[in-house]
Structure 1
Amino acid sequence: MLAAIWAQDEQGTIGKENRLPWHLPNDLKFFKQMTEDNTIVMGRKTFEGMGSRPLPNRQTIVMTKDKGYQAEGVNVAHTVAEVLDYAKTFSGITFIAGGSAIYKDFLPYCDVLYRTVLHHTFDGDTKFPDVSWENWTLINLSEGVQDEENTYAYQFETYQRKVATE
């Protein structure tokens, strides 16, 4: 199964200079909980923005056009087809984890979307690509807990792709 997972502000901002423009520990915990023992797919810039190190307890695939690119502890893919072939044989969930171009390339193939929406706006240089929401059904919505570490109001949303009917 292929799923996308991301956090965004109210205007769709997902990044600034290849990093998150906010700090929300509960969203990071959610990301960890969802992706552990699964696979995450991200672009090279996103990977390098995280310090060029794979996250523990998950397989990491870095997408790049650079045929010579290598990084320790990750697999490198150069095409969407390579990742789709991998996802077909992987028994867990293959999570698309950014950045914007990677999300855009894989959204047509995703079965589930996990979106965290921060009820705030941030300065950023990267937006999540447009989603045809009429193709998705909201199946779970939960308000995030605000506290001294998680200072922004936010919510977790899960969407499932609608089955096309003829």
Structure 2
Amino acid sequence: MIIIACADREWGIGRGGDLLFNIPEDMEFFKTATRGKTVVMGRKTFDSLRIKPLPGRRNIVLTRSESFSFEGIETVHSLDELFSLLENTPQNDVFVIGGSNVYRQLLKYCDTALITKVSAYGKADSFIVNFDKLSGWKKESASELKNRNGTEYQFVKYVRQ
């Protein structure tokens, strides 16, 4: 499984149910990486998509809500259900896309993290683990520093050792 996220300098990923930054190159990176793959998300992350599945992907929502149902979405209520559903799916075709609770639950099953690191402070209320300080993980590669309207960012790949 692969984690994919955009995080600010304090590893914040969202505020009030929305992303912290609107960086078109990050959105394009996300689309390219996940197109044709399976994306796993929590219900709040699904809600942030404005109540529609991501096109061209298999969408799975992990939620405690037994009543959650939506056309074009596969719903699971536990990790056991999720892994049963993913039984015949190659692990490198599964992207964990948020939110913070789902990242936390699935971190131990992931071996790669693709993080768009933004050098700004986003006043986040939702966070992901700091991969720079996470034992057993190392930075494998990083793009050159990019700038979008004064916001500096780079694409960083972390791998489990």
Same-fold status (TM-score > 0.5): yes
- How many residue pairs get aligned? The number is 159
Stretch moving more, 36-45 or 133-142:
133-142
TM-score (structure 2 length as normaliser): 0.91
Judged with a 3 Å threshold, the aligned counterparts in structure 2 of structure 1 residues 153 and 130 are, in CA distance, closer, same or farther, namely: closer
In the alignment, the residues of structure 1 paired with residue 85 and residue 144 of structure 2 have an alpha-carbon distance, to the nearest angstrom, of 34
Task: State the partner residue of 1:94.
Answer: 94
Residues 85 and 130 of structure 1: is their aligned pair in 2 closer, same or farther, counting only changes over 3 Å?
farther
**Alpha-carbon distance, 1:130 to partner:** 5.1
Q: In structure 2, how many angstroms separate the alpha carbons of the residues matched to 1:130 and 1:159?
A: 11
- Give the CA deviation at 1:71: 0.8
Contact 2:23–2:148 at 8 Å: present in 1 too? no
Partner of 1:64: 63
Write the distance in 2 (CA, Å) between the matches of 1:147 and 1:124: 20
Could you give the per-residue CA deviations for residues 90-126 of structure 1, whole angstroms, max 9, x where no partner exists? 1351111000000000001101111110011012211
Where does residue 158 of structure 2 map in the other structure? 159
TM-score (norm 1): 0.89
Find out whether 1:137 has 2:138 as its counterpart: yes
Deviation digits for residues 25-84 of structure 1, max 9, x if unmatched?
Answer: 110100001000100011001100110111111000011111121011110011112222
CA distance in 2, matches of 1:143, 1:64: 37
Letter matched to residue 141 of structure 1? A
Q: Distance in 2 between matches of 1:130 and 1:99?
A: 15
* CA distance in 2 between partners of 1:55 and 1:155 (Å): 24
Task: Report if the CA contact (8 A) 2:7-2:117 is conserved.
Answer: yes
Identity rate of aligned residues, in percent? 31
Q: Which amino acid aligns with 2:7?
A: Q
Residue 31 of structure 1 is matched in structure 2 by 30
Q: CA RMSD in A?
A: 1.6
CA contact (8 A) 1:87 1:93 kept: no
Cα distance, 1:144 vs structure 2: 4.8
Q: Is the 8 A contact 1:136 1:159 kept in 2?
A: yes
Identify the residue that residue 52 of structure 2 maps to in structure 1.
53
State the distance in 2 between where 1:46 and 1:76 align: 13
Is 2:43 aligned against 1:44? yes
What is the CA–CA distance in structure 2 between the aligned matches of 1:33 and 1:113, rounded to whole Å?
Answer: 15
Q: Distance in 2 between matches of 1:45 and 1:147?
A: 27
